[in-house]
Amino acid sequence: MPAAFEFLLPTAAKDVPSGPDWIHEVKYDGYRLRVERDGARVRLITRGGHDWTRRFPWIAEAALKNRITRFVVDGEAVVLGVDGVSDFDALHSRKYDDEVQLYAFDCLALDGDDLRRLPLTMTRRKL
């Protein structure tokens, strides 16, 4: 597994880009999270470098159930309200830590291979 993974941060723009080279995704109101699995060990790492594996047990358990045993996935930890919309206040309250879901948007490593140099369209297929 490659040693260090940095979070790629979005860039603000005045206009919505168009054309075949752009991918648009839904912005969820949550916490950015990197899921790292190496065999039986799973870590959920925040942008600030905190290990939140125990904080979000549902995500950690789901990572352990995956048939792939070595991967790094970038995503957003989110609590959904009854209307299906992300609810940051509920997430921040910590009352729903056992219900937090991960919306994965990129696969950074898989089976020991670093995928970061591949085009996003290819790494998304790995998800």
Q: Which residues are catalytic?
A: 27
User: Strand ranges (DSSP E) for 1-127?
Assistant: 31-38, 41-46, 70-78, 101-110, 113-114
Place of tokens 């880009």: 17
Place of tokens 């358990």: 61
Longest pairwise C-alpha distance within the chain: 44
Quick one: which of 125, 34, 109 has its CA closest to 117? 109
| Distance (Å, whole) CA 125 – CA 127 | 5
Residue 40: which residues within 8 A CB-CB, separation 6 or more?
64
